[in-house]
Amino acid sequence: HKALMVHSVPQVNAYRVADTHVCFVFQYVQADAPTNKTLAGLVVQLLQFQEDAFGKHVTNPAFTKLPAKCFMDFKAGGTLCHILGAAYKYKNEQGW
């Protein structure tokens, strides 16, 4: 199984992200279910956004970054599941 790596972002195992898929797919993405690769890519984008917007190089960041361990909780109903669920809920509410 291959893992994705972006700069200093922790590795994200695409096949393991599949477990989080079950927890929110029917609630927020009924017509357009994301793939393992799509979910892994979203996690990388969220981590990169946090670093860009709230990282050490940012003076007076608006928020604190979520701990990296939150993105490594691959259990159904775990922290990553809630993060991805919130992202897809927001996407649907915005009509994206």
Tens of pLDDT, residues 25-64: 445 555 667 888 888 999 999 999 999 999 999 999 888 9
Is pTM beyond 0.75? Reply is: no
Instruction: Print the domain residue range for 20.
Output: 3-94
Strand 12-13 and strand 3-4: the pairing is antiparallel
Tens of pLDDT, residues 68-85: 999 998 888 889 988 988
Give the model's pLDDT for residue 36: 84
Task: Report which secondary-structure segment, H or E, holds 13.
Answer: strand 12-13
Total number of domains in the chain = 1
Has residue 1 got a pLDDT over 70? no
